[in-house]
Structure 1
Amino acid sequence: MNIQEEKAYKELTILEDRYPVLKAVHDEVWEAFSIMRDSFLKGGKLLLCGNGGSSSDSDHIVGELMKAFCAKREIKPELATRLKELYGEQEADYFIKHLEQGLPAISFSSQTALHTAFSNDQDEALFYAQCLLGYGKKEDVLFGISTSGNAKNVGFALKLAKAMGVKSILLTGKDGGTGKDLADLSIIVPSRETYQIQELHLPIYHSLCLMLEQYFFG
């Protein structure tokens, strides 16, 4: 394990210290981190979708990845140099001071205009699959969230991901539902109550965001 991985792993141990119940998904959380890390290293992006309250979680994750979360994320030196060449020291410094390096992530639930246009003409349950078809590349990762694992819209996206050769992760609960057999990796939190599952999802995805931030920017 290199230094970057050690920093990421420390965030996982902190998660388990705070939420001992999540030791049950230790291996799955580490594997999810590894899948997303490898995707970003290849120039891929994280594509997220969730049903109901979980759609808000997918938006939340984008907010933690696309800007600084807990670590400083300075823009790349070569970009800073180019800004100075183009616009001079003073304006370049404004960009450098206020911009933060991001890890590319898109939440399908935020595509409001596309959602209404597609749903007016086609089966709304396929909306997330439509987004994946338009955005998805083989180096990307699809991250689906469904408390039961049975959300049709998330399930269709997982099916299409398999056909497209896009790796997929499902964050779920209960017994994993139908989605657990569709995703390449399922993180099934140990609860059967919807609201409790959602309460356990948040520290997991916060931890994953922290692990990725520590790996790439720590």
Structure 2
Amino acid sequence: MNTNDGTAVAPLLGALRELAATAERTANRLEAQIEQALAMVQATISRGGTLLFCGNGGSAADAQHMATEYVVRYMRNRRAYPAIALTTDSSLLTATGNDFGFDHIFERQVEALGKAGDLLIIHSTSGNSPNVLLAADAARAKGIPVLALSAKDGGALKERADLCIVVPTTRTDRAQEIHLCIQHAICDAIEATL
């Protein structure tokens, strides 16, 4: 017996509609930037570079998710593409946090692992987390381009990235959902062309 009068599902449908509206705004406003992001990722993989992903919290999960899509596969069986999530090595993260401070957890890895031809991809809804800002600085110092996905006004990261895709929302959850959608679309296009 269904006793739901529709009031319980209304907030769920509202969330879906809000997500759809955010996706529509993003597609309309950021098409050129998304195409630039695709070109950056294509160039990196074509030249044998590594995609270095980082972020905090939910954005860390997105970084890990995307690194896995490139190494394993997304929609098609193909060769593995080099990608690393800088969020996953607990010994390295805790040692860096303990010895140098949490702000340096990604910076140290970019210094150690990053090389010419790589691409640093930062997920940060605020664009102001010190650890991702220092990672961007470390990448730029090594001549590694920085692709960022952010929201709100892009934060300080907007000025430190070669390209910063700022999703038009102030909601962290919606931004992360759109970031992942953009990243999946790029990965799908990469698989179709390389």
2:10 aligns with none
> Is 1:150 aligned to residue 128 of structure 2?
yes
Count of aligned pairs between the two proteins: 173
1:63 aligns with 68
1:192 aligns with 170
Q: Aligned letter for 1:137?
A: K
Unaligned runs of 5+ in 2: 1-19
Question: Which of these residues, 90, 99, 102, is aligned with residue 112 of structure 1?
Answer: 90
Q: TM-score, normalising length from structure 2?
A: 0.85
The Cα of 1:193 is off from its aligned counterpart by 1.2
The Cα of 1:113 is off from its aligned counterpart by 1.1
Q: Aligned letter for 1:130?
A: R
Question: 4+ residue runs of structure 1 moved beyond 6 angstroms?
Answer: none
1:89 aligns with none
1:20 aligns with 24
Q: When you count helix as a share of all residues, which structure comes out higher?
A: 1
Q: Aligned letter for 2:72?
A: K
1:138 aligns with 116
Higher relative contact order (CA 8 A, sep 6+): 1
1:46 aligns with 51
1:36 aligns with 41
Q: TM-score, normalising length from structure 1?
A: 0.76
Q: CA RMSD in A?
A: 1.5
CA displacement, residues 50-94 of structure 1 (integer Å, 9 cap, x when unaligned)? 012100000000111111211122xxxxxxxxxxxxxxxxxxxxx
Q: Percent identity?
A: 34
Unaligned runs of 5+ in 1: 1-15, 74-100
C-alpha separation between the residues in 2 aligned to 1:65 and 1:151?
25
Q: Aligned letter for 2:76?
A: A
2:188 aligns with 210
